Amino acid sequence: MNYTFFMLPLSITEKAERGSDENGNFVMLNGTKIYRMHLVGTVVALELNEESGSGYIILDDTFSSMLVHFQRPLFGLFKEIQRGCLVEVLGTIDVYNESTTIELNNIKHVDMIRYTYNKIESIKNLKALTG
């Protein structure tokens, strides 16, 4: 599968058109289909449900927030992550209750230097993508 993904601000999902094709769900911005996104933000909510084998975080990048959901195999990634942590997230575009969400593929805790670098990169990539 040929994915296109960028370090972008979460707010692009509010402006982007949603769709799906044989490659999966995507958001489209200026003709570019984005199937996976690499994001950076703060964990403002975290729910791990052992019983159902699922969980979610709400990721906030100061401009917008997004639901990021995951299944039991990824629970181990949350040993050091809790509410208030700065994180990088890689995930696949998904749709839940008519909203764009992310199905988590990977998450890692980052420090303020990495967070700031990624925020700058996301703004540069958004400008490049939107002209």
In terms of phi and psi (left: phi > 0; alpha: psi -120 to 50; beta: otherwise), the region of 57 is beta
Q: What is the pTM assigned to this prediction?
A: 0.86
- 31-79 per-position pLDDT tens digit: 888 899 889 999 999 999 988 888 999 999 888 899 999 998 888 888 8
pLDDT reading at 4 higher than 70: no
Give the model's pLDDT for residue 11: 83
pLDDT reading at 96 higher than 70: yes
CATH number of 12-130: 2.40.50.140
Q: CA–CA separation, 78 vs 82, rounded Å?
A: 7
Domain boundary assignment for the chain: 12-130
Query: Measuring CA to CA, how many Å separate 56 from each of 27, 29, 93, 105, 120?
Result: 20, 26, 14, 12, 26
Q: Phi first, then psi: give them for residue 60, nearest 5 degrees.
A: -125, 135
Give the model's pLDDT for residue 78: 85
Q: Kindly state the tokens that stand for 130.
A: 């939107």
Q: Kindly state the tokens that stand for 104.
A: 């988590």
